[in-house]
Structure 1
Amino acid sequence: MTAAAHTPTARPMTASRSPALSGTLKVPGDKSISHRALMFGGLAIGETRITGLLEGEDVLSTAGAMRAMGAEITRHADGTWTAVGVGVGGLKEPDAPLDLGNAGTATRLLMGLVAAHPFTAFMTGDGSLRKRPMARVTVPLEKMGAQFVTRSGGRLPLAVQGSDTLTPIEYVLPVASAQVKSAILLAGLNTPGETSVIEPEPTRDHTERMLRHFGAEVRVEETAQGRKATIVGQPVLKAADVVVPGDPSSAAFPLVAASLVPGSDITIQGVGLNPLRAGIIDTLIEMGANISFENRRTEGGEPVADLRVRAAPLKGVVVPAERAPSMIDEYLVLAVAAACAEGVTEMRGLAELRVKESDRLAAIADGLAACGAKVEVEGDTCRVFGTGKPPKGGVTIAAKLDHRIAMAYLVLGLVSDEPVRIDDAATIDTSFPGFDKLMNGLGAKIVRETANGGPV
């Protein structure tokens, strides 16, 4: 993978072989839950108090969008947030286009919310977000009665012409996607009757859990076609405090790092263990990772625990396609673990990786190959041929505006023979602000470069 051209705003980072990692840490709040807490708090009657909100750029984009549509969203000096809502159906037309930055989740969920309001809103984002497909959301929402104007290929910028007289639908997802499911359910919030989504494979259910937390009636049942989620439209949402657990997608990076760096022993506090999000933990344990669960508890309707991780030799495994929805954002760092494991790791059902912030399937194949690992991609299956020791490294990886590419290869650099450099790690702040400082606090060797190429 070749390096991208250096720009004045780029923030290169380099990771080098590190001593044993040790200590206790908290990863940022769950991004999926943070987005939803702001949206639902912005609709609920009363004041919702949110603790542990992820303050990455993606979530701040959601806060800005909800403010622009009339919700009162406030950050307080102690780090807590409050949302004073406008009621279901009470959002107002924004005065300017909603700029969602790199936030794909925010964009797709807000498309559902706005679709059920009688006004027009314009949405745009950064270069990466403008390349991502939105037709998977516009198609079902148009079936309900909303109208969209997009660029070719269903891409941003786009205009949503909403309506408060949508028709409820029962929609079978062509491809399992929590974002598409959520967009339809959120459109169903302000739609009379019952709106249902059937998914072929279960996806993360934060929307269903949190809507119930705020007082909506949401039913979930198993059918012959798959898991069916139904929302009863036009409920009165009432303010409900939310404690945001640690994001399992963010926890995956120190989890893999501590598993790979010899002698490591760390504890990650308060990680969300939603069973539809914990695929990376299940897979690492199957590979031989030494992960123990301490202080199990429930917070805001979500299962939570502290994870103690100690270094252990890993072995190759087969990761079934049906597990993909529960760990779709973690395959990049799993591939790094696989490159250091003994034997072949086969990851199936990865078509969705081609339409994330970047083509992450290509990022796995090209990046690991550049570092000296053997990788095969056949259709939506990826095989990583581990040798039981880390690949050589010694390259610059183009992050392609994708925070997970940047973090995954920085983790690899902690164990590779030669340092791994990321051409631009600035987008890490979209989901994991302070990633390098937190990892360095455990003993990692990650160095930021200054504008002239030297270390900070």
Structure 2
Amino acid sequence: MTHASGTAQPLSLSTAGLLAGTVTVPGDKSISHRAIMLGALAVGETRITGLLEGEDVLATAAAMRAMGAQIERQDSGNWHVHGVGVGGLLQPMQALDMGNSGTSTRLLMGLIASHPITATFVGDASLSGRPMGRVITPLSLMGAAITATPGANGRQTLPLTITGLCPAVALEYTLPVASAQVKSAVLLAGLNTPGNTVVIEPIATRDHSERMLAGFGAQLTVAESPQGRIITLHGEAELRPQDIVVPGDPSSAAFPMVAALIVPGSDIVIRNVGINPTRAGLIRVLQAMGGNISLLNERTVGGEPVADLHVRHSALTGIEVPPDGAPSMIDEYPILFVAAANAVGTTTMRGLEELRVKESDRIAVMAQGLGACGVACEELSDGLIVQGQGGDPLPGGATVAARLDHRIAMSFAVLGLNAARRVTIDDARPIATSFPTFVPMLRELGATVRN
């Protein structure tokens, strides 16, 4: 993808005053991926409004085209997907380039695992270092043959080749770690597998796959038990095309939300944000820290709860964040670290081992960057302890390496809005993977690009 090569694009944001206005954020990335994939497996035309047009989702669309689906963007901005039916995926003629998208890679591996085709996955330098073993294990048990590249610390990484088995073997699988991607990969493999595929998750993760699979007509049940949530999918499904409206991504809304909380005098509204309970952990934590965040016009759109977020500058107080809430906000921890740096007192965040294997080691990279900006923090094996600066402008004055990680880049860009000296991100190009309108949106609220 484009951000992995070429000339770096530094970014530095500041504000001469408050942030104000009403904005929207791009469509939810998790829902956008799944809408393209399930639309490509339905028979007929699925129409999608509000699709995130970031590089990660475009990588998913390109892969599904390579396997036979017709996917077109209309002049209106809506997307039309003509599916091939479950079991109808075609052999791709070349390697599938996933760019920086771990979600695309892991979920598509699940789709292919129960189809009689072979596909090779490649990606950029960041994705090629990320572990795939947690998905390889259950898909291999279902009969897929997978050859990965040996990586650091015993990891199985890209490039990776998978040959699906048809019919695949139905599986009952208990997730060893809380991972919506692993859960979704197994369920997607189960679509073309005879019998029942069962996933047991001891800790609930985001449930977009379950909601959307049911919406497309799959026979799926979710039951609570002492072991956790038991999700059962009846295989050899026939999916019906849908009209899907993608809500705003709460992981993207996190950045203007924290920006408004830390910049004095700010008062903003972020419209049409998904507030699925399995994704809304950051809102709950920021409110517990004293954040003035109100949910307006709560409604349901396309089976997903949605609201407008009214956010005003607030005096934040450090807290101990409950570790069991991590799955509901795992992607938002980098920007939570920034909020903690602007709070009064200490914020302790644990249970975050998953952050070590994201686009970067987000615990280590954020700790390094915060330290360079004058924020005292202690790196833990599974989290971070941040000593807040009390709401006064942070010292700043650093150039931070984004490490090809979009959320690192955006987090430190937001930190720079309340810093005494300029904070520069070494390369803002990764932001395009999930939030291509990030800089224009902050400009609309009153931020200034300083370089």
What TM-score do you get using the length of structure 1 for normalisation?
0.96
C-alpha displacement of 1:205: 0.3
* C-alpha distance after superposition, 1:205-248 (max 9, x if no partner): 00000000100011111122211111110111000110000000
Choose which of 93, 97, 109 in structure 2 pairs with 1:95. Answer: 93
In the TM superposition, residue 419 of structure 1 has moved relative to its aligned partner by 1.1
Aligned match of 1:398 in 394, 398, 401? 401
Q: Give the one of 230, 240, 247 matched to 1:228.
A: 230
Q: Which runs of 5+ in 1 are unaligned?
A: 1-5, 448-454
Q: 2:438 aligns with which of 432, 435, 439?
A: 435
Deviation at 1:7, TM superposition (A): 7.7
How far apart, CA to CA, are the structure 2 residues paired with 1:183 and 1:12?
Answer: 36
How many residues matched? 443
Is the 1:145–1:163 contact (alpha carbons within 8 Å) kept by the matching residues of 2?
yes
Q: Does 1:376 align with 2:378?
A: yes
Identity percentage of aligned residues = 60
Distance 2:223 2:372 in 1: 46
Quick one: distance in 1 between partners of 2:317 and 2:156?
41
Residue of structure 1 equivalent to 2:115: 117
Match of 1:352 in 2: 354
1:147-186 equivalences under 5 Å are 147-152=145-150, 153-186=155-188
Partner of residue 415 from structure 2, selected from 412, 417, 423: 412
Contact 1:23–1:267 (8 Å) recurs in 2: yes
Q: Supply the distance in 1 between the matched residues of 2:92 and 2:7 (Cα, whole angstroms).
A: 29
Question: 2-side partners of 1:47 and 1:361: how far apart?
Answer: 42
Seen in structure 2, the aligned counterparts of structure 1 residues 181 and 27 have a Cα distance that, compared at 3 Å, is: same
Q: CA shift at 1:318, angstroms? A: 1.2
Runs of 4+ in 1 over 3 A off after TM superposition: none
| Distance in 1 of aligned mates of 2:444 and 2:320 | 34
Scaled by the length of structure 2, the TM-score of the pair is 0.97
**Unaligned stretches of 5+ residues in structure 2:** none
Give 1:127-276 correspondences, 5 Å limit. Answer: 127-152=125-150, 153-276=155-278
Match of 2:71 in 1: 73
How many angstroms apart in 2 are the aligned matches of 1:418 and 1:337? 18
Q: Which residue of 2 aligns with 1:3?
A: none
Q: After superposition, where does 1:15-30 map in structure 2 within 5 Å?
A: 15-30=13-28
Q: Which amino acid aligns with 2:349?
A: M
Q: How far 1:379 sits from its partner (Å)? A: 2.1
Shift of 1:122: 0.6
SS of 1:145's partner is coil
Classify 1:17/1:393 alpha carbon distance in 2 versus 1 (closer, same or farther; 3 Å).
farther
Q: Which stretch of structure 1 is more off in the superposition, 386-395 or 104-113?
A: 386-395
> Which string of whole-angstrom CA distances, capped at 9 and with x for unpartnered residues, describes residues 117-161 of structure 1?
001111111110000000100000001110101100210000001
- Tell which deviates more after alignment, 312-321 or 49-58: 312-321
* Corresponding letter in the other structure for 1:397: V
Counterpart CA distance in 2 for 1:390 and 1:156 is: 42
SS of 1:309's partner is strand
Counterparts of 1:446 and 1:410 in 2: how far apart (Å)?
A: 10
SS where residue 396 of structure 2 aligns? coil
8 Å CA contact 2:15–2:446 kept in 1: the answer is: no
Alignment partner of 1:424 is 2:422: no
Name the amino acid aligned to 1:34. Answer: S
CA distance in 1, matches of 2:8, 2:159: 24
Question: 2:167 is matched by which residue type in structure 1?
Answer: T
* Shift in Å, 1:381: 3.0
Deviation at 1:8, TM superposition (A): 4.4
- What SS does the aligned partner of 1:392 have? strand
TM-aligned CA deviation for residue 255 of structure 1: 0.2
Shift of 1:16: 2.4
Per the alignment, residue 448 of structure 2 pairs with 445
Q: Deviations over 1:8-52 (max 9, x none)?
A: 421110122441001110100000000000000011111111000
- Residue aligning to 2:293: 291
Query: Superposition pairs for residues 294-313 of structure 1, below 5 Å?
Result: 294-313=296-315
The partner residue of 1:39 within 32, 37, 40 is 37
Alpha-carbon distance between aligned partners in 1 of 2:408 and 2:179, rounded to the nearest angstrom: 21
**Contact 2:315/2:343, CA 8 A, preserved across alignment:** yes
Taking the aligned partners of 1:141 and 1:364, their CA distance within structure 2 comes to 33
- Alignment partner, residue 49 of structure 2: 51
